[in-house]
Amino acid sequence: MPSCDSRWHFYFCSLMSRIELIKGDITKIKADAIVNAANSSLMGGGGVDGAIHRVGGPAILEECRKIIAKQGSCKTGEAVVTKARNLPAKFVIHTVGPVWYNGKKNEAALLAACYQNSLKLAIKHNLSSIAFPNISTGLYGYPKEEAARIAINTVKEFLDQNDLITKVYFVCFDEENCQLYKLQIQQN
Ligand code: AR6
């Protein structure tokens, strides 16, 4: 199996040229928005959530606090937006992935909703590039191969019907996810 380069580009048909796979740290990505794999409290945590708040600075948490005060918790599958503060991106879209319960709690639809709602929010804010981490595949325990399939198919379907998003980056932190995404993208 070929190994992942640090930055891996895929250019296939015109649709796939809008999708790019990157191996690395999402906090370094200069997109209009990066997506955070948050929890319903939006009060930060470990994994990519911890990294985004650490690099972005405390103003992101402050903005999250205001959102929660206004609307209550962010439910699984939903998404909200804050500024990205000290990050190179312009905005952070915080979405809450499903915890994996052996597929018994509607996890697949909830995971797809994370990608759909994040993309919808990007369009609502006139953003044209967005970077996703591998939502739910860390602490929340979603099987990585299935999560990659859902992520790619959901994004592809969305891009098919929306021209406003010109670039979607899938940012894989670990080699296993990177290989899985590579295979899935090649199969499309
Ligand atoms: N850049 C990109 N991807 C990353 C980074 C990074 N800097 N760090 C980790 N990942 P996780 P979840 C990958 O656990 O499963 C938090 O505590 C990681 O390798 O961050 O949705 C929240 O507050 C994995 O593939 O998110 C929630 O409580 C992927 O990001 C909970 O974890 C997701 O792993 C959410 O769990």
pLDDT in tens, 160-179: 999 999 999 999 999 999 99
* Marked catalytic residue, from 49, 160, 163, 174: 49
Spans of all domains in the chain: 26-187
Ligand 1 centre and the CA of 133: distance in Å?
A: 7
Superfamily of the domain at 26-187: Leucine Aminopeptidase, subunit E, domain 1 (3.40.220.10)
What secondary structure does DSSP assign to 5-17, as a single string? PSEE----STTGG
What is the reported pLDDT for 187?
Answer: 83
Percent of the chain with pLDDT over 90: 89
Measuring CA to CA, which residue among 7, 48, 39 is closest to residue 169?
A: 7
- Cα 175 to chain center, whole Å? 17
Ligand 1 site, residue 36, Cβ cutoff 6 A: no
Q: Which band of pLDDT confidence, cut at 50, 70 and 90, is reported for residue 1?
A: very low
Average pLDDT of the segment spanning 3-9: 49
In whole angstroms, what is the distance from residue 136 CA to residue 139 CA?
A: 7
pTM of the complete model: 0.94
Our answer to whether residue 49 is catalytic in this structure is yes
Ligand 1 centre and the CA of 1: distance in Å?
A: 25
- CA 103 vs CA 56, 71, 99: distances in Å: 33, 28, 10
Question: Tokens in use for 174?
Answer: 């670990």
SS3 (DSSP) at 127: coil
